[in-house]
Amino acid sequence: MSGTPAPEQLVERVTALPGFTKAIGTRVLSAGAGSVHLAVDRGPDLLQFNGFFHGGVITGLADHAAGAAVTTALPAGRIAVTIDLSIHFLAPADGRTIVARARAERVGGTIGVASVRIMSRSEAGEKLCAIATVTLRIVDDPPALRADGVVGSPGEGGGGRAAQ
């Protein structure tokens, strides 16, 4: 591909790749440079024993949103992968949909940090159910994405290192 994809295109493509993010039904609500909103709808395989969204699903969504928020603020050919994450669960995620709103707080040459607010949305409205902060490492786009044409230009050196 030529040129840099718009943030929304980039996030749409990464979110649609096979794997966990797609399997839980992640949808892109919006994506701008440094700001990404994602949603996942309730399903029986996504819950814990009380019928609330499971912490693993909430965290997985927050993680993906954080990575997307920082990646959209990077030059083409670079991508952000999670180093660590802290998440605080504030209220039961008992709605029909969870929405993660991620914002890049810092984008440097090698490290990015994003904060994420996760809402539980039902007919009655929205409530804050978790907040997360994610530290990410900025690397060259991995072959899995490059082969797909998802990120940046094919001429750049590959990465594929999801950890340091």
Maximum Cα–Cα distance across the chain: 50
149 makes contact with its own copies (CB under 8 A): no
For its own copies, give the closer residue by CB, 3 or 49.
49
Q: Which listed range, 1-9, 30-38, 69-77, 83-91, lies at the site for its own copies (CB under 8 A)? A: 83-91
Token digits of residue 29: 């609500």
The only residue of 8, 29, 76, 92 in contact with its own copies, by rule CB under 8 A: 92
Rg (CA), the chain: 15
Place of tokens 């709808």: 41
**Cα separation, 114 vs 57, whole angstroms:** 18
Q: Is 64 in the site for its own copies (CB under 8 A)?
A: yes
Q: Is 105 near its own copies (CB under 8 A)?
A: yes
Residue 102 contacts its own copies per CB under 8 A: no
Q: Do residues 36 and 28 touch, judged by C-beta distance below 8 A?
A: yes
- Label residue 62 exposed, middle or buried (CB < 10 Å: 0-12, 13-18, 19+): buried
Place of tokens 């060259």: 140
Q: Is 1 in the site for its own copies (CB under 8 A)?
A: no
Segment interacting with its own copies, rule: CB under 8 A, options 1-9, 28-36, 69-77, 136-144:
136-144
For residue 48, the Cα-to-chain-centroid distance in whole angstroms is 21
Residues that bind its own copies (CB under 8 A): 14, 17-21, 23-24, 44-52, 54-57, 59-61, 63-64, 82-92, 105-106, 108-111, 113, 115, 128-129, 131, 133, 135, 137, 142, 144-145, 160-164
